[in-house]
Amino acid sequence: MKIIPLSDFDENTCTRIRRADLPSAGLRVIGTDWQRASETGASLGRNIIQWYQAYDEQGNLNFDNLDSTMRGYHDAGMKVILTLRANHPDKSENGFNIGDRTLFVDDSWPKYEYEADWTDYLKNVTDRYYLNPLPEYEDTLAAIQIGNEWGHQFIINESYGRYQVGQEQKAILDLMNFSYKAVKGIAPDLSVFAFAISGTPGWALGDGQYDSGDEWTYDGIYYAQKDNKNGISVILPGDVNQGTIAGIKRIIAEGNASYDYFDAHIYFQRPEEARYVANFVRNVWMENEITGKGLVSTEFANPIYNYSYDWHSHSLKAAQAVAYHAGFDTIILGNWYPSPGSPNLLQDSLRSDAGYQFSQVYNYTEFQGITKDFVGVRRQNNLFTFDSQKSYDLNKDVPPYPSYYQCSDGLDNDNDGFADELDSDCEDYYDLSINCNNQKVQNLPGCIDPEGFSEDNWIFLF
């Protein structure tokens, strides 16, 4: 096993000590069903807030909607991380029209004349929910995150003369520092998260963070293969852009004075990939003599492609165990995109007490009973022992491990003389001629065999 020395890791006992100022057990909640999320054992959630949502029609700060959200978390006994995005149609350099997809509008610097509005907004959120909260949402705000993902959710508008195209990293570092000072200036003890990085298994792979036999991962993209059907592709270490890796390391290292926790979003195939990602981040800290930082994942989903619900069920426990021991302090389980076919599969399963999602619900709850808010975790080969003296064996209930060759790749993977997609028992392909909700082909009737791989057959879709 490859181990990068950590300041909180005792190699003599293979025990890692968690930074415990945040709850460990998180779950992505989409909508308002906080109580059902809490019943699974989750004690932490995450909400992404657009800057413009904080104002009423007259342009005055109005927190009625956010107040309701905070009360919901509080009443369910959960804390929440607020991800505050710098996207406003008028106040940000990147202007836009408010519509139903503004979550996908890139962040940008506040215009010069609205920089004070941005810091005023940050300070108001901090004061209202952390420093001087009403009893109805007291002790609910766990942390503030500035921005969501830096690589593809931030843009420069050269017309303002502040930055030029190619200076995105500098702009993000400056915005992180500018915002961090605003929050810490009034609340030094409130944790602040950095912009997250996405695609982390690939960056770790390209940096050499993998064990023998794990020299590949998915690139997360569907490709048209033949006859209007599509498949998936893998990437190898040599396929990864080293310039991007260098840029990510710069954000982690040079931005360290502007965050308390670094956020790595992980969508992966194998549980051990969480360790490779943790090693990637922690190694940058070690090389740059950076200490005192925490590591979180506010988007943690596995596997990125769904081969079977049994594999999902195993992975959600195994991957979290690996991640916790490797250096993650807090995990928010759940993907970024709710399936339009069934936006709340976890809640639906709990209501019906049945269905193909129920085993995932059971396993998540079981795992939280073993690990919730643990302090120390020891790993001996594949046995994880937490300070509760409860343990989890990575080899327990392991389903058949899938190959990265799929029915939809047009190959004869089962060697029966026919292309798999023509086999009656191999139908896990998308028909790209079917339009599903104007998005990528989704997990809707007529779009995909439900036992096949799908980016929307997720475990928890809050």
The domains of the chain, with CATH numbers, are: 9-221+236-395 (3.20.20.80)
What are the helix (H) ranges across 142-299? 168-184, 200-206, 242-254, 273-287
* Cα 173–Cα 177–Cα 183 angle in degrees, nearest 5: 145
DSSP 124: H
Tell me what pLDDT residue 256 has: 97
DSSP 439: B
Tell me what pLDDT residue 412 has: 55
Tell me what pLDDT residue 268 has: 76
3-class SS of residue 5: coil
Whether residue 303 is preceded by a cis peptide bond, meaning omega within 30 degrees of 0, is yes
User: Distance (Å, rounded) from C-alpha 144 to C-alpha 80?
Assistant: 9
* Cα 247–Cα 26–Cα 308 angle in degrees, nearest 5: 85
3-class SS of residue 37: helix
Tell me what pLDDT residue 270 has: 81
Let me know: does 359 contact 366? Beta carbons within 8 Å: no
Mode of pairing for the β-strands spanning 9-10 and 15-17: antiparallel
Tell me what pLDDT residue 4 has: 54
User: Distance (Å, rounded) from C-alpha 428 to C-alpha 449?
Assistant: 6
For 394-427, the pLDDT digits (tens) are 988 777 554 433 444 445 555 566 655 444 344 3
Tell me what pLDDT residue 279 has: 93
Q: Which residues of the chain have pLDDT under 50?
A: 1, 221-231, 306-307, 336-356, 402-410, 421-462
Contacts of 163 (CB under 8 A, 6+ apart): 109, 156, 170, 171
**Helix or strand (DSSP H, E) at 16:** strand 15-17
Mode of pairing for the β-strands spanning 376-380 and 25-27: unpaired
The alpha carbon torsion through 237, 241, 247, 250 (nearest 10 deg) reads 20
What's the pTM? 0.83
User: Distance (Å, rounded) from C-alpha 361 to C-alpha 364?
Assistant: 5
For 447-456, the pLDDT digits (tens) are 222 223 333 3
Q: How many CB atoms lie within 10 A of CB 56?
A: 10
CA atoms within 13 A on the CB side of 321: 29
Q: Which residue has the tokens 């907004």?
A: 121
Rounded (10°) angle between helices 168-184 and 115-126:
50
